[in-house]
Amino acid sequence: MKKTTTPAKKHQNLAYIVVSRQTRAILKLWRANPEFRIRDTQFGDYEKLGKEFDGVSEKIDARNRELTKLRKERDQLAARLAPLNIRARSGMRGYFGLRSPEFAQIKIGASLAA
């Protein structure tokens, strides 16, 4: 099953993209016009902050790619394991009996903490 991105998450990602694009555009314009000033911020400080933001964003993107691969692997393993679980539960129901305490331990939703 494909997981969809929530509107809030899309908006959040879009906001980061906008911040990154604006920062690059401001840096380009500021670099071309060094006489521009902001009272409490120097060009170098702004540039450094922009690079830090881009660096963290790249790390997040890389880890998201890693997580995507791991999620696909997990989903493939779950698809292989689920039918075996069904067969095992069916066999245990026949072996232990429908009302046995052993079978009660593996009833769906009985205990997810185990």
B/e letters for 90-106, b = 16+ CB within 10 Å, e = fewer, are: eeebeeeeeeeeebeee
Of 87, 47, 50, 18, residue with least CA distance to 106: 87
Provide the token pair at 42.
Answer: 């120097």
Query: How do the pLDDT tens digits run along the chain, 114 residues long?
Result: 556 655 666 667 778 999 999 999 999 999 999 999 999 999 999 999 999 999 999 999 999 999 999 999 999 999 999 999 999 999 999 999 999 999 999 877 654 544
Backbone φ and ψ of 113, nearest 5°? -80, -20
Report domain extents, the chain. Answer: 7-104
User: What percentage of the chain's residues is helix, strand, coil (to nearest 5)?
Assistant: 75, 0, 25
